[in-house]
Each structure stands twice: as C-alpha cells, then as structure tokens.
Amino acid sequence: MSRDEILEALAALPHFRHLEPELLGRVAALCSVLEPAEGEVVFREGQQCDAIFAVLSGLAVVYKVAPDGREQVVHHITPGQTFAEAALFHFRRFPAGARTGAPGTRLLRVDGPRFLELFKSEPALAASMVGSLCGWLHALLDRVEVLTQLNAGQRLASWVLRRPARSEGGSLVLELPLAKKDLAAELSITPETLSRLLAGWRERGLLEVDGKRLTLLDTRALQVLADGGD
C-alpha cells in the first residue's frame, strides 16, 4: 500500500479526517498495513498494547474468552472503524482479544508508542480524537439501549433499517457486512433465532434474502417491527 493510499485511508477515518495535511502525514509515517489470514489472531487479551488499528477491508472481531473456553463476541469492527484506543491510552494492555472475521481482511496498524508521543505534542490531534471518541461512545450507548430494551425482532429490524442501502427496482437493497452467525452474535441472539426471523419476514413479504443480500420490500412494516409493533 503506497503512502498516498495510507493518507487517503487515514483521511476517511473519523479520528483523522479533520487534520491538516502536514499532521496527517506525520500520522501516516507511523502506519503499516497488515493482511492476516481469515481467523488469524491480531492480539490476545492481556497482551501489552503496542498499537491501534483500523479496518480497511473485511472484518475484525473483538472477543473475550469465557471461563469455560467459549468465545464471547464483544464487537464486530467493519471497514472505516478503529479499535484498541482504550487499550493504548488507558489500560496499556488489551482488555479483549481480536481476530479477523472474513477473508481479505486488511488492517491499518498505527505504532502505539510513537503515536502517544505525537498525541501529547499536537493539540489538534488530541482534539480530533476526543471528538471522534465521544461520537463512538454515543453509538455504543445506543447499542446498549438496543440490546437491553428491545426484543430480538426489534433489534434485527432496527439494525437492518440503520444499514446503508441503495435503491434498486423500487426497493432498498443492502449487503450484510458480516456472516449471519456474526450478525446474530452482534445482536445477542442465536443464529437459529436470526434465521427464523428472516424466514418469517420473507414469508410475510417484508424482504427477500439471497445470501448476504437483503432486499427490503416493505420498510414501513419493518419500522413498525422496530418500534415494537406486530
């Protein structure tokens, strides 16, 4: 990946999109690109934090390991999102593990120690990141509200309606950014519940499902479901 491509990728991230070109270039000098295999561990829980990351393509899965050895998904990181900031700035160690969740995943790695030095010396970088992280915090609070107050159907309908979609043949079409089992984990429901909900909505004519492609045929009905109606 060329320096110009790294600059372009950085400029698209919420943390850095408002930086002046000179400062953005200094951040770019701290970056490298990783292309791990699908399912490869990026870092493990408890490991010393030496970087922050952004997803350029594919998917990263942040997870914790339960006492019984089972993996518990904390979050899915999609292209254009960053992760491990709290580990670098506060914990100094990774509070959870991360692995790739899709083939063709590419990650932008920002060297941690040198980034901390730049952060301390450049108020513009600090202000930009604080603003971005505040926005991310609000998004996480919204997700907590969704998971604690909505039932499975409401969660799925709300998630679908919030996804970017394109108009095609009079309907809205969206592509799932992750596998259905990962989407189920994201919504804290079982894969069987997800499949049952999608099948039921398909039978009712609310949407069509073709692999990862969803065609929304009745967005009004989906909004009613998201609001708790039947």
pLDDT (tens digit per residue) in 196-223: 999 999 999 999 999 889 999 999 999 9
The pLDDT assigned to 55 comes to 96
Cα(68)–Cα(99) distance, rounded to whole angstroms? Answer: 19
> pLDDT exceeding 70 applies to what percent of the chain?
93
- At residue 170 the predicted structure's pLDDT band, cuts being 50, 70 and 90, is confident
Average pLDDT estimate for 25-39: 96
pLDDT at 228 over 90: no
Q: What is the pTM of this model?
A: 0.69
Tokens of 126: 């600090």
- At residue 135 the predicted structure's pLDDT band, cuts being 50, 70 and 90, is low
Can you list the domains of the chain with their CATH numbers? Answer: 3-147 (2.60.120.10), 150-226 (1.10.10.10)
* Contacts with 164 (C-beta within 8 Å, 6 or more apart), sequence order: 174
pLDDT at 140 over 80: no
Tokens of 91: 């914990």
The pLDDT assigned to 90 comes to 87
The H-or-E segment that residue 85 falls in is helix 85-86
The pLDDT assigned to 73 comes to 83
Across all residues in the chain, what is the average pLDDT?
89
pLDDT digits (tens, 9 = 90+) for 53-93: 999 999 999 999 888 888 888 888 989 999 999 899 988 99
* Whole-number Cα distances in Å, 64 to 84, 95, 106, 189, 190: 14, 8, 22, 17, 18
